[in-house]
Chains A and B, each alone.
Chain A
């Protein structure tokens, strides 16, 4: 069974601080996605990383896929209250799979940015 471990589980920081959230597994994934979920809403896709070592930037958010495609990180620079939410990572099965295997979701990191 493939598992994705996210850390930390909870994070409370002051506005303007930097933070990094981690998503780790012992399994290889063909791609990895990051979602953000706000209270009372469904998760919304932020980014997909596909290539080992890939780095993608979305304004103040930087996403990195590990070289071995087993882990990923999300770094937020100068966090703002609008970044508050639940951040979820999700992995698609390795290349050898048929492609019908559903995504594996981490349990999420709940971020609170205090003004």
Chain B
């Protein structure tokens, strides 16, 4: 099992450009999450999904959109990147029903200039 994978690993964008981050998991997990991690801020939840076709906003959703068309994939989109979105992005997944132990991907380091 590959677990949780993320592509790409690194990306540099210019302000105003768009991109999509892909997260894939092969553990048949129902729940998937997107976080950003910034120095001193910890992990902050952007959006999450409790099943195929359903998404919900987390703590910091502005400027991001997500889609969960297939159970194993969770996409994070930036429509018009801003320097404030420079961060490390992590995807995670977990089984429904508790205790919600999360399995994280290796992260995507995004720089917006």
Contact = CB atoms under 8 A, between A and B. Distances in A.
Interface residues on B, range: 20 to 34
B43 interface: yes
B100 A45 contact: no
Contacts of B103: 45
A31 interface: yes
A91 to B, nearest CB: 10
Given A102-B58, A105-B43, A108-B42, A31 B98 contact: yes
A51 to B, nearest CB: 11
B102 A30 contact: no
Interface stretch (B12-20, B61-69, B72-80, B104-112): B104-112
A40 B6 CA distance: 13
Contacts of A100: 50
A74 interface: no
Interface string B20-52: 000000000000010000001111010010100
Contacts, number: 57
Nearest to A4: B42
A105 B42 contact: yes
Select the residue from A35, A92, A100 with max chain B CB neighbours within 10 A: A100
Contacts of A40: 106-107
Contact of A102 (B41, B45, B101): B45
Contact of A99 (B40, B96, B104): B96
7 contacts: A30-B98, A30-B99, A31-B99, A35-B104, A90-B102, A102-B33, A107-B41
Interface of B: 4, 33, 40-43, 45, 48, 50, 58, 90, 92, 96-107
